[in-house]
Amino acid sequence: MKTVYDFTVRDRKGAEVSLRDYEGKVLLIVNTATGCGFTPHYEPLEAMYRDLRDKGFEILDFPCNQFANQAPGDDEEIHSFCTMKFGTEFPQFAKIDVNGDSAEPLFAFLAAEKPFAGFGKGLKNAALSKFAGLNNKKFGDKAYIKWNFTKFLIGRDGTVLARFEPTDDMEDVRKAVEELLG
């Protein structure tokens, strides 16, 4: 059975990193953007990381500019923004595509394991759904991720256990991580 440990990605300096390096840890893999309305998610993500990393938890941050050009900077500009504005310490990888023919294979795998199930109910969620639908139309059946700050929860064995959309409450994400950590 394929797991996230079967993938290699690039760090923000361009070096290859095997996700096997994270074997045995609980992971939260996130596609991010510095200019998105969900960018404040960095605060609860960093708080969760600081509180739980000693228990075997890692957040893997993958910037992406495919959603309304909300991450236009290069890898170093994005990293500087995140560390200066939000004090992030969790690993940040090279900027990637998460949709289309150039999608990072890891994200195609994650989305196949836990497909999109909607943004939820309410006016804000309906508006995001419409906007995301227009944005992702160009990717057709390769529109794996619908918006920035989609999060995938990975078990210690490398299996994909849950998908959280950017509209999901960050407290629910934290609860799921804490349950998995025991």
Q: What are the beta bridge partners of residue 29? A: 60, 152
Q: What is the largest CA-CA distance in the chain?
A: 42
Q: What are the beta bridge partners of residue 86? A: none
Distance of alpha carbon 153 from the chain centroid: 9
Burial class (CB in 10 A: 0-12, 13-18, 19+), 160: buried
- Residues annotated as catalytic are 36
Name, in order, each residue with C-beta under 8 angstroms of 10's C-beta and a sequence gap of 6 or more.
Answer: 16, 17, 93, 94
CA–CA gap between residue 156 and residue 139 (Å, rounded): 32
In 26-179, the DSSP E strands lie at 26-32, 57-63, 151-154, 160-164
Helix axes 42-52, 170-181, angle to 10 degrees: 20
